Amino acid sequence: MVSTKDKVVELEHAVIRFAGDSGDGMQLTGNLFSDSTAFAGNDFATFPDYPAEIRAPQGTVAGVSGFQIHFGQTNIHTSGDLADVLIAMNPASLKANMNWITNEAIIIVDTDAFIEKNLVKAGYESDPTIDGSLNGHLVVSAPISTLTKEAVRELDLDNKSAQKSKNMFALGIVFYMFNRDFKQTFSFFEEKFKKNQLIVDANKRVLTAGYHFAHTIEAFANTFVVEPAPLEKGLYRNVTGNLATAWGLLAAAERSGRNLFLGSYPITPASEILQELSRHKQFSSVAFQAEDEIAGIVSTIGASYAGAIPVTTTSGPGLSLKSEAIGLAVMMELPIVIVDVQRGGPSTGLPTKSEQSDLMQALYGRNGEAPVIVMAAQSSADCFYAAYEATKLSVELMTPVILLTDGSLANGSEVFKIPRVADLPEITPPVVEANDPDYQPYKRDPETLARRWALPGTEGLRHRIGGLEKENGSGNVSHDPLNHQLMSEIREEKVERVAKHIPELEIIGEDEGELLVVGWGGTYGVMLTALEKMREEGKKVSMAHFKHIKPLPSNTEEVLSRFKKIIVCEINLGQFVNYLRMRFPGIEFLQFNKIQGLPFLVGELKEKFEALLNE
- Of the ranges 49-58, 189-198, 286-295, which one carries the lowest mean pLDDT score? 49-58
| Per-residue confidence (pLDDT) for residue 6, from 0 to 100 | 56
Residue 162 CA to residue 454 CA, distance in Å, equals 60
| Per-residue confidence (pLDDT) for residue 23, from 0 to 100 | 85
| Per-residue confidence (pLDDT) for residue 3, from 0 to 100 | 44
SS3 content of the chain, % helix, strand, coil (to 5): 40, 20, 40
| Per-residue confidence (pLDDT) for residue 163, from 0 to 100 | 87
Nearest one of 373, 311, 359, 301 to 332, comparing CA atoms: 301
In tens, the pLDDT along 437-467 reads 999 999 999 999 999 999 999 999 988 889 9
Residue 205 CA to residue 151 CA, distance in Å, equals 6
Residue 338 CA to residue 310 CA, distance in Å, equals 9
In tens, the pLDDT along 397-440 reads 999 999 999 999 999 999 999 999 999 999 999 999 999 999 99
In tens, the pLDDT along 553-569 reads 999 999 999 999 999 99
| Per-residue confidence (pLDDT) for residue 1, from 0 to 100 | 40
Taking the CA atoms of residue 170, residue 172, residue 173 and residue 174 in that order, the dihedral angle to the nearest 10 degrees is 90
Q: Which domains does the chain have, with CATH numbers?
A: 8-225 (3.40.920.10), 237-423 (3.40.50.970), 513-614 (3.40.50.920)
At 232, phi and psi to the nearest 5? -60, 155
In percent, how much of the chain has pLDDT > 70? 99
| Per-residue confidence (pLDDT) for residue 385, from 0 to 100 | 98
User: What is the arrangement of strands in the sheet containing 138-142, beginning at the earlier edge strand?
Assistant: 138-142, 101-110, 83-88, 13-21, 64-72, 43-49, 413-417, 236-240
Strands 513-520 vs 542-546: parallel, antiparallel or unpaired:
parallel
In tens, the pLDDT along 125-164 reads 999 999 999 999 999 999 999 999 999 999 988 888 888 8
Taking residues 355-367, report their average pLDDT.
98
The model's pTM is 0.94
In tens, the pLDDT along 276-291 reads 999 998 888 999 999 9
In tens, the pLDDT along 519-563 reads 999 999 999 999 999 999 999 999 999 999 999 999 999 999 999
Nearest one of 113, 172, 108 to 138, comparing CA atoms: 108
In percent, how much of the chain has pLDDT > 90? 89
pLDDT at 343 over 90: yes
**Beta-carbon contacts of residue 316 (< 8 Å; ≥ 6 apart):** 340, 342, 343, 345, 346, 349, 357, 358, 361
How much is the CA Rg of the chain, to the nearest whole Å?
26
| Per-residue confidence (pLDDT) for residue 2, from 0 to 100 | 43
> Which of the four pLDDT bands, split at 50, 70 and 90, describes residue 328?
very high
Residue 540 CA to residue 363 CA, distance in Å, equals 33
